[in-house]
Every structure is written in C-alpha cells, then in structure tokens.
Structure 1
Amino acid sequence: MTAAAPSSTDIWEESRRRLIPGTMVGSLIEWYDIAIYGQAAALVFGTLFFPSFSSTAGLVAAFATFGVGYFARPIGAAIFGHVGDRYGRRIALVATLLLMGVATTLIGLLPTYAAIGVGAPILLAVLRLLQGLAVGAEYVGAVTMVAEFAPSRRRGYFSSLPAAGVFLGIGLAAAVSGAVALLPQEQLLSWGWRIPFLLSIIVVAVGLVIRLRVPESPVFADLKAARAETRVPAADMLRAMPKRLVLAMIANGPLAFNIYVVQTYALSYLKTKGVPSSTSLLALLVGCAVGALAIPLVGRWSDTAGRRPVYVVVSGFCALISFPFFWLLDTTNPALIVLAFALALGGGCLAIFGSQAAYFAELFPAQYRLSGFGLSREIPGAVLAGPAPVIAVGLVAAVGGPWLLATAMVVVAVASLLAVLALPETRGIDLDPVVDQDGIAAPGHGVSR
C-alpha cells in the first residue's frame, strides 16, 4: 500500500526549523550592516573621510554616502526581484547575502582620506552602492519565503519573524559600536571603527551555511511547474497594479524616513547636546529590544484583527510619538533618552515591520511578488531613507531646533495611515501562484517558455 503524501502542515513543520533561522539571519546581517554604517557616518566618517570640510559639512557628506546606497536599492529590488520571481526565491537570498557581506567587510579594510586622499570617499561610496544593491531584495525575499510556506491563519506571526532579524541586527550593531566607542578617541579613529565592519564576515559565513539549507518556496515550485512565471515580472506588475504599488510605497513611509531619523540622525543630534555616544547607543539597543517584543506581537495581532487595522494603529502611533521623541531627547537625561528610543523606535517604527510583513507579501501575486514587494519598499527608500539624515540636518539647522523635523515625521506617518486605508484587506487570502488576491487569473501565464 502506497504511503500517504505529506500534508501541507507536515511540510510546514518540517521546513520551518531551517526556514525561520535561515531568513532571520539575512535580515540580521542586512540591518547590522545598515546600522553600523549609519552609526559610523554619524560618529566618525566625517572626520576620517571628509576631514577638509567643516564639522557640519563633513557630517552632511558622511550622511550623503549613507544615502548613496539607497539610490541603488530600487535597482537591487528590480534585479534580485527578477531573479527571485523567475529563477527561485532561494537563489536570490543566497546571492544578496554574499554581496552584502563582502561589501561591508571591505568597508572595514578601506584606507582613509589621510592615506589616499579623495580616493577614500570614492571607494566608500562604491561599496555603499554594492550594499544597496544587495539590501534591495534581502529582507523582502526572506519575508516572501516565510509567507509562502506559512499556514494562512498564522501568516502574520510567522512572516514577522524575519523582521526580528532587524532588531538583532540593529541591536548587535549598537552593542558592537557601543563597545568600540569606549576606546580612547585616538584608537577609535585609527583602527577601532573598523571592527564592526570586519565582524560582518563571521556573521555572513554562519548565515550562508544556514541559508544554503533552506528549501525552495512551495509557491514558487508550483509557479514553475505551471509555467506561469513572466519574462519581466516588474514590468508586468507595473502594468497590472500601478495604483497598488503607489499606495504601498506611501504606506512604507515611516520605514523609509522616520526610522532613519531615529536610529541614525538622532545619534548625531544627541552628540551636539553633549550626550556621550555610549548613552545614545544604549538607548538604541533598548529601542531594539522593545522592537523585538513588539514585532511578533503585532504580527500575531494582524492574524486576528486584520492587516489594515493593525497597520493603521501603528502608523498613527508613529505620528503621535514624533514630537515627544525630541522633547525627551532635549532633556539630555539618560533615562528619558532611553524611553524616547523605546517608544519611537521599538514601539513605533520597528512595530510597523510586524504589521507590514504578511500584508505586503499578500498584496502582490506570486508571479511578481518579490518585485512588487521590493519596489514598494525600495523606491520610497531611495526618495526618503537615504536622504533622511541629510534632510534632518537641514530641517534642524533651518529653524534652530527639531520641531520642523518632527512635523515632517508626522506628515509621513499620517500619509502612511491614509494609504493603508485605501488598500484592501488581505488577511486569509490564498497565495496560490495562478490566482491573484482578487480571485482573478493572474496576468502573464504562459508567456515564459
């Protein structure tokens, strides 16, 4: 008698032991790399790579190199989204992990301006571009893999788990940077700043071993078997649902602007107030710890309350906390600074990951899920995330205080809330590769042969 075929539940239970760690590790590395670069830009890159500028101009130049990577991210989303939608989610995940880790490690080996002059900031910008290409599809690919494996009734919770890698990455970066910041200034500027970048190679090696054991998405396997993939997924997505893409981009606003004001610009803002870097990094670490608790709770909440209501609530909180965040920072009281980061980063910006993960994966059909999800996150990233610290510097300098910057954060968060209200509810939909979320045969079937 032939043995019964394994059920979808059996397949999920067998796969998730490798899938969850394999997807979390990529998010960890992605946000570790982003965070250490942003922290270094705020604290040392102006001195090391732009010493001939004034202190303000050097800070702006350092943040500009931070922003360079974000202009590459939509390109990376298109390239690796194409790879993931055409050739497999797993291939895209391995490729982005390698590129990101190598680029970050090489930053730690760069000569400074004092050694090679103008070549140093040029090389820094090139490596930041390579980071951006990889990051453009890393987190999106991880979430998509989990969403396509997970049972629909718990998809919000499980899809939010890769975002825990966001907390782990930012938290690890804060811990490493905090330890390095304790070095004497001379040692910090001579070799200490390199340590966080060089440690990336260890995390990448471990992550690669884990990720190579992750199975291919069953939804993509079905897509391939049905020969339903499209030749140019991003182009098909733009033709089929341009309005949905635009609304998703606006909904991503707090993760493209507010979060970078909090985790990057706020460090240099506190430095101008005379707050020690160790205090700022501790506050950042606590904010990440709160986010680690909030992300899966919010994801689980979206499984019961719905994707839209939860997203609206969290976006609203991001708007409400913007002014109090700076009021708390201005006290220069360490305990209140920690509270500010716990609320604005952990309870606000990071919590959005929990509501967004399954929602954005469900908004786009399987044929161009990676492309749609990736571009909806990375196009606003190019417009807002990369320039966010520079915009923050300019807004604060323009009025001599943070109120205009806080207003901008409120506007971004309210726009996100309104965009989500214009999007459909998706909780419980089928992620089948040949039927889209509205029950209509997905476009492009049979065009790839």
Structure 2
Amino acid sequence: MTSPLTGSAQADPRGSDDPEYAENLRRATLASSVGSALEYYDFAIYGLAAALIFGNLFFPALPDGLRLVASLATFGVGFLARPVGGLFFGVLGDRLGRKWVLMITIALMGVSTTMVGLLPTGEQIGVWAPVLLVILRLAQGFGAGAEQAGSTTLMAEYAPVQRRGFFAALPFIGIFSGTLLASGVFALVTLAPDDVLEAWLWRVPFLASAILIAVAVWIRVKLRESPTFIHLEEQEQVAEHPLRDLMTHSRRNVLIGIGLRMAENGGSYIFQTLAVSFAVTAGVTKSWGSLAVAISSVIGMITVPLAGKASDKYGRLPVYRAGAVVLLALAVPGWWLLSLGTAWGTTIVITIGISFGVCIMLGSQCALMPELFGNRRRYIGVASAREFSAVIAGGLAPVLGAWMLTATGNAWWPIAAYVLVLAGITFATTFVTPETVARDLTLTADAALGDPVGGAAEASQPARQPAGVA
C-alpha cells in the first residue's frame, strides 16, 4: 500500500540498486553541493564584509551612518545582475543542457569573488575602489543567477521520484557548508585588531575562494548530463526558444515561485547580514554575530534534508507553510530581543530565523520549484522565479533594512514589520500553489492547481521519470 502523497505510477525504471544510476546520483549530488558551497561562501563572505568592514574600506569619505548603507548597497547591486544571468544562462541550460552551463557559472562566480580580494581601497584610489567593487559584484551576481537554479534543477531531475524531496535537498547542505566556512573564517579574522583587519587580513577570505573554484570545476568536468534533458533530446522536444515559451505558458508559476521566495530569500539575507549588523550596534561584538550565523549553518545542514524528507511524506506545501509560520511568529519578539544587545539573544534569534524558518522552506523548495515547471523550460523557469525574487527580497532586504535603521535611529520595530510582510506574502502564496510531490519531470506542461497529487498533467506523456543516463 502506498501513501496517498507518494503513491504514483511513476516508479523509476532503474533504482538505487543499479550501479550506474547510483554512481551518477552520487556525482550529481557532489557537483551540486560543491557549487552551492562556493556560491554561498561567496555571498556570505561578501555579506559579512559589507555589514562589518566594507563601509570603512571603500567609502571612507561618507559619514558613519551612510557608510553602512552604501556598503550594503554594493551587496544589493549584485542581485540586479542575477535575473539577467538567470535568463541568459537559463536559456542556454534549456537548449544545450545543464552540465556545461554549470561549468561556466561556477567559474565566473568564483573568479569574481577572488578578485575582490585584490582590490585597492577607497583611501588608495578614491572613487574607483567602489566602482571596481560594484563591477565585480555584478559579475558575481551574473554567474550566481543561474548557478543555484541549475543545481536545483539538475538534482531534482536525477533524484528518485519517491524520495525527490530528500535527495534534492542534499546539495543544499553545501549552502550551509559554504555559509559555515565563510562565517567561521570571518569570525576568526574579526578577532584581529581593526588596523590589521582593514590593512590586509580582510582579503584572505576572498582569495581563499580560488581553492573552491578549482575543486568545483574538477568535479563538474566528470558530471554527466541530466536524464530528463537526455529524454528531451531523444524525443526531439528541446525548446528552440525557452524564454518565449516561459512568457507564453509559465507566467503564473514564475509569480508563484517569486511569492514563495519572499520569506525564504529575504529572511535568509536579513538574518545573515542585517541582524548581524544590528546586533553590533546594539552592543554585541562583531565576532559573535558571525558565530551565530555559523551555529545556524550547522543546524541548517540537518534541518534542510529533514524538511525535504518531510515534504516527500506530507507534501511540499504543508512543510513550506510551516517555515513561513516560524518567521511570522519570530518577527516581533525576535527583533525586540536583538535590540537588547545580548549575545545569547542574538544567537537564539538568528538560529531560529535561519535554521528553522528559512531552512524548513528551503528544504521543501528544493524539489517544489523544479516540479512547478515543464521539462522544456524548467531551467529558465526556476532561474527566473529564483532570481527575480532575489532582487525583490534578498537584494533589497539589507539595503532597505539599513535605511530603516538609519531613518529611525536604530529602532527595531520597522525591521520586525518588514519580516512580517515578507513572511505573510509567502504564507499566502502557499494557498495558490499546486501540490507537486512526486510529479513526473518528463512532462512538458507546468504544474497547475487541480492536478492529481503525484500525477501527470499531460496524459500523452510517459508516466515515468528516467533515472539513469545512457
């Protein structure tokens, strides 16, 4: 007897006992995980640097309050390039395949981050320092715009149908590995005297990303193409114009994806950057904020796959909704507690916000987002939903939050209201989102409200998902 959620005719023709499939699944998991680790190491290290030291390094001529706003604005500007990169590489991913696009994005993202560590500061070359910083941040965002969408799509397409939520969530351990590494490194370097930190030590975390680039590229060279993309090629169904198909057939699901990401993405960057900066102004040491993010990352490495596994059993939407409820409940008491400036309060709030609110949503999202879109436009669909939401939620959150703090004299309540709005949007969106658990990813139609759970939207398509590769 099968569960009503996971029971489906879409049994994999090849299972985990097939040595070739098992090996390909391991490679896909490793390739996706390392890519996620590099992306989030890059973004976490930049976000922490922007929140704590980039204001003094690149905007020394500005007043103290505006330095933080300007510094976090350079963090936010990278999100402007993400949708462009998502569209550009998303088209290539749906036309040429997932593998080589992921090779390009990881290299572009990693090289940009490494070069940040070579930049001269504002005192050395004046206004050109922030200009060059913005250029590299745009390049980083351009590559990142399709990296996570590609990794998510690839892993969902490789994963066994009945355990897709769990397997699709495994690479996101890389997210927290990267965040943990970044916050741990930054916690160490911020223990140094300020003159040493701002003179040269801040460069070390950025230059170290070159090691991750080399590892990621080496692993992805050995990766084989996604089985569902191979299925498209065999059926001669590869889209000639994925973007046009997306605009014609998938606008609703792109908007749903954006709504789902408001609390997850916005909450992630609020608690990783803005909460750290706010805690410092309230009296917590710089290193303690980074340590709180590191603790959250360790717990998140457990929470995300467990949430993915729960979504296989109970459905994507109930699990996703639970994560949004956590942020709704945390918003007001959490930011009040942060305003007290205690180390234990900072740790509790950041840990709950990231490890449980954000991570529960992320664990369900890993499979949900690819399942929303048909096979011909899945890469660009996931990239569009992820990256346009990243501009609206993740990119604006630290900048808008820093402006609110400056305008209100570091009052905590505007940020609490902001978190409430983001979480409320996501909570409401879950009620107009189709349940997609165990959906057949060879289907070319998007998921829609009213589709049978775990069923097919197009009866003409084969009710199976190829799990192996030729």
Common fold, TM-score beyond 0.5? yes
Q: Please state if 1:87 is matched with 2:105.
A: no
Map of 2:39 onto structure 1: 30
Q: Please state if 1:130 is matched with 2:148.
A: no
Equivalent residues of 1:223, 1:434 under 8 A apart: no
1:361-372 matched pairs, under 5 angstroms = 361-372=370-381
C-alpha separation between the residues in 2 aligned to 1:101 and 1:351?
28
Map of 1:342 onto structure 2: 351
3-state SS, counterpart of residue 297 of structure 1: helix
The superposition leaves residues 62-103 of structure 1 with CA deviations (integer Å, 9 ceiling, x where unpaired) of 111111100000001101111111101001111110000100
1:17-416 matched pairs, under 5 angstroms = 17-400=26-409, 401-416=411-426
Query: Which segment drifts farther, 11-20 or 55-64?
Result: 11-20
C-alpha separation between the residues in 2 aligned to 1:356 and 1:384?
16
Letter in 2 for 1:405: I
The superposition leaves residues 104-140 of structure 1 with CA deviations (integer Å, 9 ceiling, x where unpaired) of 0000000111111111110000000000011111111
Equivalent residues of 1:219, 1:433 under 8 A apart: no
Map of 2:436 onto structure 1: 426
3-state SS, counterpart of residue 53 of structure 2: helix
C-alpha separation between the residues in 1 aligned to 2:327 and 2:34?
27
Map of 2:427 onto structure 1: 417
Query: Which segment drifts farther, 106-115 or 249-258?
Result: 249-258
Q: Please state if 1:7 is matched with 2:25.
A: no
How many residue pairs align between the two structures? 437
The superposition leaves residues 247-280 of structure 1 with CA deviations (integer Å, 9 ceiling, x where unpaired) of 2111110133221111011121112122111111
**Structure 1 residue 153: Cα displacement:** 0.5
C-alpha separation between the residues in 2 aligned to 1:435 and 1:376?
17
Equivalent residues of 1:318, 1:348 under 8 A apart: yes
Letter in 2 for 1:328: L
**Structure 1 residue 220: Cα displacement:** 0.5
C-alpha separation between the residues in 1 aligned to 2:65 and 2:233?
53
3-state SS, counterpart of residue 257 of structure 1: helix
3-state SS, counterpart of residue 387 of structure 1: helix
Q: Unpaired runs of 5+ in structure 1?
A: 1-5, 443-449
Map of 2:451 onto structure 1: none
C-alpha separation between the residues in 2 aligned to 1:20 and 1:232?
29
**Structure 1 residue 436: Cα displacement:** 4.9
Q: Please state if 1:439 is matched with 2:457.
A: yes
Equivalent residues of 1:222, 1:433 under 8 A apart: no
C-alpha separation between the residues in 1 aligned to 2:256 and 2:226?
27
3-state SS, counterpart of residue 202 of structure 2: helix
**Structure 1 residue 433: Cα displacement:** 4.8
Give the root-mean-square deviation of aligned CA atoms. 1.5
Equivalent residues of 2:335, 2:415 under 8 A apart: no
**Structure 1 residue 168: Cα displacement:** 0.8
C-alpha separation between the residues in 2 aligned to 1:386 and 1:195?
25
C-alpha separation between the residues in 2 aligned to 1:115 and 1:245?
44
The superposition leaves residues 226-245 of structure 1 with CA deviations (integer Å, 9 ceiling, x where unpaired) of 22111221221121021221
Letter in 2 for 1:182: L
C-alpha separation between the residues in 1 aligned to 2:435 and 2:91?
26
C-alpha separation between the residues in 1 aligned to 2:395 and 2:444?
36
